[in-house]
């Protein structure tokens, strides 16, 4: 029988730096919803280290969910849940609330509509004044790439799909603000990546 587990080499390189940020910024309890969990390796690594928080992985891809489910089964971690099928561009998800949303290396390998859908989901699911949206990956800053390697990566993404590409953090911030999500902190990460931590503000008022 074939092993459905996938392996993403980048996971071993970035999981500890990501964990160090998540441990500090996530709410101390509640459900953590990870979008586009991919292989499931991050979920398996983070869940037991971030207990008692419950970790809910998800992915739109059936094969990815099979990989995630295999890691869940192998982990024996009670707070790591079975993966859900979630298409972030849809207006309804099979979950209606979460203490935090996590998206690692997603919005640049997806159309811009996926980023907007993710932000809409955060608006719907996160509690006011305590909900956290965590984004990780490469970003432009003020319209410019932060490194030659990120620029080359952006070009390779757009060659694969013109709708993909490294996003400008300013654009993400603007769209987040329109949905009541305020950019609270930016953390420089290895390999020219960033952690962007948004918090849902207490007021429902949106910003231009």
Q: What is the three-state SS of the chain?
A: CCCCCCCCHHHHHHHHHHHHHHHHHCCCCCEEEEECCCCCHHHHHHHHHCCCCEEECECCCHHHHHHHHHHHHHHCCCCECCCECCCCCCCCCCCCCCCEEEEECCCCCCCHHHHHHHHHHHHHHCCCCCCEEEEEECEEECCECCCHHHHHHHHHHHHHCCCCCCEEHHHHHHHHHCCCEEEEEEEEEHHHEEEEEEEECCCCCCCC
Average pLDDT along the chain = 93
Instruction: List, in order, residues 6 or more apart from 173 with CB less than 8 Å away.
Output: 183
pLDDT of residue 201: 86
Per-domain boundaries in the chain: 9-200
pLDDT of residue 53: 97
State the CB neighbour count (10 A cutoff) for residue 178.
14
The pLDDT > 90 percentage for the chain reads 87
d(CA 194, CA 190): 8
Label residue 208 by pLDDT band (50, 70, 90).
Answer: very low
The interaxial angle of helices 112-125 and 169-177, nearest 10 deg, is: 40
Q: Could you read off the pLDDT of 134-174 as tens digits, one per residue?
A: 999 999 999 999 999 999 999 999 999 999 999 999 999 99
Residue 1: pLDDT above 70?
A: no
pLDDT of residue 65: 96
- Give the class (CATH, top level) of 9-200: alpha beta
Pairing assessment for the beta strands 132-137 and 193-200 based on DSSP bridges? antiparallel
Q: At residue 31, what are phi and psi to the nearest 5 degrees?
A: -90, 130
């Amino acid at each position: 029988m074939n092993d459905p587990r996938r392996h993403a080499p980048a996971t071993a390189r970035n999981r500890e730096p990501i964990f160090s940020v998540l441990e500090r910024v996530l709410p101390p309890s509640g459900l953590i919803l990870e979008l586009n969990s991919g292989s499931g390796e991050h979920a398996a690594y983070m869940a037991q280290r971030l207990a008692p928080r419950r970790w809910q992985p998800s992915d739109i891809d059936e094969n990815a969910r099979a990989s995630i489910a295999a890691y869940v089964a192998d982990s024996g971690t009670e707070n790591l849940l079975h993966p859900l099928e979630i298409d972030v561009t849809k207006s309804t998800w099979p979950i209606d609330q979460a203490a935090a949303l996590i998206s690692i290396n997603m919005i640049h390998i997806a159309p811009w509509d996926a980023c907007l859908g993710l932000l809409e989901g955060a608006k719907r699911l996160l509690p006011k004044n305590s909900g956290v949206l965590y984004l990780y990956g490469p970003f432009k800053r003020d319209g410019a790439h932060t490194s030659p390697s990120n620029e080359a990566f952006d070009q390779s993404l757009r060659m694969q799909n013109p709708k993909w590409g490294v996003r400008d953090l300013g654009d993400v911030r603007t769209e987040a603000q329109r949905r009541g999500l305020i950019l609270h902190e930016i953390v420089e990460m290895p390999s020219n990546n960033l952690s962007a931590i948004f918090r849902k503000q207490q007021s429902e008022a949106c910003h231009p």
